[in-house]
Structure 1
Amino acid sequence: MKEQILKDIHMFDTIIIHRHVRPDPDAIGSQCGLAEMIKTSYPAKNVYVVGELPQSLHYLYQMDDIEDATYNDALVIVCDTANTERVDDARYILGKKLIKIDHHPNVDPYGDIMHVDTTASSTSELIFELAESSNEQLVLTDKAARLIYAGIIGDTGRFLFPSTTERTFHAASQLIKKDFSINDIYDNMYETSIEMAHLNGYVLQNFNLTEEGVGHIRMTKELMAKYNVNSEQASLAVSSLGHIKGVKAWVIFLEEDDLIRVRLRSKGPVINGVAANFNGGGHPLASGAKVFSWEEADQVVEELKKVCKEEK
C-alpha cells in the first residue's frame, strides 16, 4: 500500500492534502508534514494543504486558498479522517484520484487507496513510516519532522497514552535528530489562556461522578459565554478529569446552536461503541459524538455507566 502511495505521489503534478474538521495537532502534523516532504522532494509539483485552521494551531502551519479548478487531474490525499462527513473542505471529491491515510477504525471505507492502520499511535506516525519506507524518495526535512513530531505527541499525550508503542518511540528518536525546538512545540501546544484556566477550575469543582465511575459535565452556551470561550476552546477541558481518582470514563457536553458536541475519554472501558450510537466514533479510549438534546446527553451518560459497570 505504501509503495502504491509513493508511486502516485511521483506520478501526479498536483497534490492536494486534506484532513478532518476541527483539527488537532495530529491532523495538521500528518497533513502538513507530508506536504513539506513532497514539496522538498519534488520542487516542480504543485502541493497544497486546505481546510479551516483554528487560531490555536497557527504556530504549526498555514493553509492554502485554492480555486476549484486546481483539483482538475489532481491527486487528493485525506489524512487522519475516519469518515467522509468529517473531511474539511468538501472539494476533496473533485480530484482524479483519492487516497485515505488514517489510524482510526475504518468504519467508512473511502478512496481509491486506503492506508489504514489502527495499531499506529497517530496518522503522523504513519506519515513518518511512509517516508522511512521510501528509500529517501520523500525527504524528511526539519520542517516536516517538526510537524510530524507535533502530531505524534499530540495524539499520544506526550507518549503517556496506551497507543504509544515501540514504533512510536522509534519514530520520535529519528525525528528529534532534525533541527527544530521541542520546547517550542510543547510551549505552544500546552499553553493555557486565563479563560481556559478558570474554566478548567469550574470543571474540577462542578463535574458529576457516578458510582460506576463516569465523570460528566455540561458546558452550556451561557457557561461558555461567561468564561469567554467558544465550544472549540472549551473542548480542551476534556483532559481535566483524566487524573481524578475514581473516574473510569468521562464525557464533556458542549452546547452549540444546533447540536451538542460530545467529547468522551476513558482510562480503560472501551467507549467508541457508545460514540457510534450517537452519531460519532473514534478510538477505543478517545471518541467524539453529537446529540441534539440534553435528554440524549443523559442517555450517553447511561450508556457509559453500563460500559464502566461491565469493565472488570
Structure 2
Amino acid sequence: MYQIKEVNNLLREGAKIAIVTHNNPDGDAMGACLAMDHYLSLKGYSTTVISPSDFGNFLKWMPGNEEVINFLEKPDCSKNKVAEADIIFCLDFNGLDRTQDLAEPIKANNGYKVLIDHHLEPDGFEDYKIWNPNASATTEIIFDFIEQSGDAKLIDKNMATCIYTGIMTDTGSFRFSSTNARVHRIISELMQRDINHVAIHEKIYDSFTQNSLRFFGYCTDQKLTVLDELRTAYIYVTKNDIARYNIQKGQTDGLVNFTLSLSNVVFGALIKEEDGVIKISFRSKGGFPANKFAARFFEGGGHLNAAGGKSDLHLPETINKFKESLEVYKPLLLET
C-alpha cells in the first residue's frame, strides 16, 4: 500500500519532521533515514533523525550520520524533538516495540505518524503507510516515494549513496531472492549519480578490526554446531566471548551468514547472550520460512530468509529450545 499522495498532502510549509527507526539500526535503516533526511531537507523542511540506540562504526561514514541523535545519549532532546514534530516518519520497522524507549514518546505525539517499511504485518500504530512487503529493502521504498512524488531529479550523490547502501546490505550484496529486475534498475539509476559503489562495499564489509576478525575465526572454529540430520547450523556467543575480543556494537553483523555457507545447510542461527536477554538472528535458503520459525518460537519475525527473535531463558536452555523447535520443521528442512 502506497499512500504517497496522502503523505505529500501532509507536507505543508514549515512542518517539523522527525525521522525515527528501530533499535540497533542496520544499513537499510540508516540508509532509509539519511536518504529521507537529505530529500526532505532539500525540499525545505526542518528534519531531525533520531535513533533509539547507537549504530555500528561501519555505518558512521554515511552522508549525514553525524547529525543523527542517539536517544540513549540525549533522551531529553530526543523526546522534545518527537513531541514537537508535526509528522513522524517511522522507517524500517512494523511495530513501536522495536523502537524501545522511543515508543512511548511516539505514541504520545499528536502529529501524524507515517510508516515506510517492508516488514510483514504492521501493527497499525501509523496514520498513513507506504508499505510493500515484497520490496527488497525500505530504501527501495524510499526511492519509490521520491520517484513517485515527481522528484527523481532531486536524488543527488548523497541520497543515492544512502539508498544504495540500504539495498546492498538488505539484499546480501544483491544475492537474496528479493533482488529482482526492478532492484537492478534502481541500482542503475543510483549509479548514474556518481556514487562510488566499490568504496561503499569496502566501508561496509571490509571494516574488520584484528579483534573482530579473530572473533569470527574463534566462533566458526569453537562455537559452530552443525546438525546435519536437520540441515541446520548455529553459532552461540556468550557475554564473555564479546568481552574477551572487545567486540563493539555491529561487529557481530554477518556472523550468522557463515552458517549458510555450508553446502547442506538451509537454516542457520546466531544465538547471542546480552544483558538480560538472548538475541537470535535467523537466516535461511530457498523457501524455508525463517520469519515463521522466529514468530512461533522466539517472539520474533522478519522476512522469509532473514528474521530475528529473542529468548528470556538462559543461554543453554535457549539452545535446547532451538534444537527442540527444529523437530517441528524437520520435514520442511529436509525438503527445502
Paired residue secondary structure (1:264):
strand
Is it true that 1:289 corresponds to 2:309 in the alignment?
Answer: yes
Map of 1:86 onto structure 2: 98
Q: Name the amino acid aligned to 1:36.
A: H
Map of 2:18 onto structure 1: 16
- Give, in whole Å, the separation in 2 of the partners of 1:136 and 1:10: 16
- Give, in whole Å, the separation in 2 of the partners of 1:75 and 1:32: 16
- Give, in whole Å, the separation in 1 of the partners of 2:164 and 2:119: 19
Q: Is the 8 A contact 2:220 2:235 kept in 1?
A: no
CA drift of 1:67 comes to 5.4
- Give, in whole Å, the separation in 1 of the partners of 2:273 and 2:122: 26
Map of 1:48 onto structure 2: 48
Paired residue secondary structure (1:110):
coil
- Say which of 69, 74, 80 aligns to 2:86: 74
Map of 1:199 onto structure 2: 215
Aligned length: 310
Map of 1:276 onto structure 2: 295
Q: Are the structure 2 counterparts of residues 137 and 212 from structure 1 closer, same or farther at C-alpha, using a change threshold of 3 Å?
A: closer
Map of 1:250 onto structure 2: 268
- Say which of 124, 127, 131 aligns to 1:112: 127
Q: Are the structure 2 counterparts of residues 231 and 137 from structure 1 closer, same or farther at C-alpha, using a change threshold of 3 Å?
A: closer
Q: Name the amino acid aligned to 1:247.
A: V
Map of 1:157 onto structure 2: 172
Q: Are the structure 2 counterparts of residues 156 and 85 from structure 1 closer, same or farther at C-alpha, using a change threshold of 3 Å?
A: same
Q: Is the 8 A contact 2:18 2:85 kept in 1?
A: no
- Say which of 22, 34, 37 aligns to 2:36: 34
- Give, in whole Å, the separation in 1 of the partners of 2:198 and 2:182: 22
Identity of aligned residues (%): 25
Paired residue secondary structure (1:105):
coil
Q: Are the structure 2 counterparts of residues 221 and 53 from structure 1 closer, same or farther at C-alpha, using a change threshold of 3 Å?
A: closer
Is it true that 1:238 corresponds to 2:256 in the alignment?
Answer: yes
Q: Name the amino acid aligned to 2:106.
A: Y
Q: Is the 8 A contact 1:216 1:301 kept in 2?
A: no
The farther-off stretch of 75-84 and 62-71 is: 62-71
User: 1:180-191 residue pairs with structure 2 within 5 A?
Assistant: 180-191=195-206
- Structure 2 segments unaligned to the other structure (5+ residues): none
Q: Are the structure 2 counterparts of residues 205 and 9 from structure 1 closer, same or farther at C-alpha, using a change threshold of 3 Å?
A: same
Q: Name the amino acid aligned to 2:34.
A: C
Q: Name the amino acid aligned to 1:19.
A: T
Q: Name the amino acid aligned to 1:307.
A: Y
- Say which of 307, 314, 322 aligns to 1:300: 322
Cα RMSD, aligned residues only = 1.9
Q: Are the structure 2 counterparts of residues 67 and 299 from structure 1 closer, same or farther at C-alpha, using a change threshold of 3 Å?
A: closer
Paired residue secondary structure (1:86):
helix
Q: Are the structure 2 counterparts of residues 107 and 305 from structure 1 closer, same or farther at C-alpha, using a change threshold of 3 Å?
A: farther
The farther-off stretch of 229-238 and 279-288 is: 229-238
- Give, in whole Å, the separation in 2 of the partners of 1:305 and 1:183: 42
Map of 2:183 onto structure 1: 168
- Per-residue CA shift, 1:236-268, capped at 9, x if unaligned? 311222211211101111111201111111112
- Per-residue CA shift, 1:167-207, capped at 9, x if unaligned? 21111111111132212211110022222211221232231
Map of 1:218 onto structure 2: 236
CA drift of 1:72 comes to 2.4
Q: Is the 8 A contact 1:249 1:308 kept in 2?
A: no
- Structure 1 segments unaligned to the other structure (5+ residues): none
- Give, in whole Å, the separation in 2 of the partners of 1:6 and 1:137: 15
Map of 2:61 onto structure 1: 59
CA drift of 1:298 comes to 1.8
Q: Is the 8 A contact 1:30 1:79 kept in 2?
A: yes
Paired residue secondary structure (1:233):
coil
